[in-house]
Amino acid sequence: DTAVSQTPKYLVTQMGNDKSIKCEQNLGHDTMYWYKQDSKKFLKIMFSYNNKELIINETVPNRFSPKSPDKAHLNLHINSLELGDSAVYFCASSQGFVDTQYFGPGTRLTVL
């Protein structure tokens, strides 16, 4: 049973395209996150949602739009993809903000 799952695992696309990454958690957690692993391998928070409400938007370009249809899902839609968007994106969930975060397997996005 996968606790936090992401699809797709790999995504290769052309500059200018629009794409989505899906995330689902079956842990019953209230809080979900999107992280970007940058070129220096740092994990940086992008967004967090609590009970479908946006809590943190960490100065991410507005080409990135998270959507939480319900507590168990947090999808990431990216418009007009740029070369610099190439990275590994991780979804995570936790019960509360201070609690342990459980990470998905990551989605490697390559923009050509």
Q: What is the closest distance, in whole angstroms, from the C-beta atom of residue 91 to another protein in the complex?
A: 9
Q: How far is the CB of 41 from another protein (least distance, A)?
A: 7
Nearer to another protein, 14 or 59 (CB): 59
The CA–CA distances, whole Å, from 24 to 2, 5, 81, 100 equal 9, 5, 23, 17
The residue (of 81 and 101) whose beta carbon lies closer to another protein is 101
User: Which residues in this chain contact another protein in the complex, by CB under 8 A?
Assistant: 4, 33, 40-45, 48, 50, 55-56, 58, 90, 97-106
**Burial per residue of 41-79, b for 16 or more beta-carbon CB atoms within 10 angstroms, e otherwise:** eeeeebbbbbeeeeeeeeebeeebebebeebbbbbbebe
Per the DSSP assignment, residues forming a β-bridge with 54 are: 49
The least CB distance from residue 1 to another protein, in Å, is 15
Choose between 65 and 97: whose C-beta lies nearer to another protein: 97
